[in-house]
Amino acid sequence: MSKVWINGKLFDKAEAKISVFDHGLLYGDGVFEGIRIYAGKVFRLREHLDRLYESARHIFLEIPFSREQIAQAVLDTVQANAKQEGYIRLVVTRGPGTLGLDPRKCSEPQVIIIVDDISLYPPDSYEKGLRVITASVIRNHPNALNPRIKSLNYLNNILAKIEAERAGCPEAIMLNHNGEVAECTADNIFLVKHGILRTPHLAAGILEGVTRNLVLELAREAKIPVQETALTRHDVYSADECFLTGTAAEVAPIVECDGRPIGNGKPGPLTRQLRERFQQRVRQTT
């Protein structure tokens, strides 16, 4: 039976519980990270912890463990579950409190580490590519909830995901408040045009993805020109290639958007090259 770490203790999955008065449940008050395990090693743990603590600081949430303690807890939980390939969900909630928004009435933040499997898309999607739509639901306005906070508030992403599924697609592109391309429901997006790799800049209201940053790093190592810039739906429709990136999705090609084929309707050569480089890099992680 799988083990779940909660505030310093390991519990069997069936016994891993938090209070129904936890503000993470009642109000989505908390932050999280999704992290990959490759060949028994945790991928880019430091980067994920940096983002977790930044998100927590932004919402005035004090994590009751040091980074070193959380890092060790993640490693211990992976070992306890004997996972060689898998996914880690690291969650910090505001903790149990009263019925009411006031976070000062919450007694103790809850730190939860889950180690399990994840598969966002069918395996053949990585060879054939994904169909997507543009969602009518926009990404959170940065003055309402900064998208760089990886919070438990995912309702607008979920609504966009539902819209995609109802349209018969596994994924949707979300626009920002200016009508520019931001990201997909849980992933960053990249385009290729005339050999140039293009992706929305952080000011477009996106999460700074760990996998996104790795792909940018791999592209620069391969001398592929990179632009972080404003993008529109026209740029998606007229792109030669398109793909999305994320911890769970890794590097997944997109071959159609809003019924329009992208490029020749098949995963492109630069997409395949970057996916191969990505797979090689994560297997080299120590």
Q: CA-CA distance, 268 to 129, in Å (whole number)? A: 10
3-state secondary structure 6-49: ECCEEEEHHHCCCCCCEHHHHHCCEEEEEEEEECCEECCHHHHH
Q: How far apart are the first and last CA of the chain?
A: 27
Query: How many Cβ atoms from other residues are within 10 Å of residue 73's Cβ?
Result: 18
Active-site residue, 150 included: yes
Q: What backbone phi and psi angles, to 5 degrees, belong to 274? A: -70, -35
**SS3 call for 286:** coil
CA angle (149 as vertex; 146, 154 as ends), nearest 5: 90
**How far apart (Å, rounded) are the C-alpha atoms in residues 2 and 13?**
6
Sign for the pseudo-dihedral over CA of 33, 139, 136, 262: negative
Among 3, 83, 150, 161, the active-site one is 150
Residue type at position 264: N
- Looking at the chain, list the stretches that DSSP marks H as alpha helix, in order from N- to C-terminal side: 23-27, 45-58, 67-80, 125-128, 155-166, 210-221, 233-237, 269-284
The answer for 95, left when phi > 0, alpha when psi is -120 to 50, beta otherwise, is left
- Residues belonging to the active site: 150
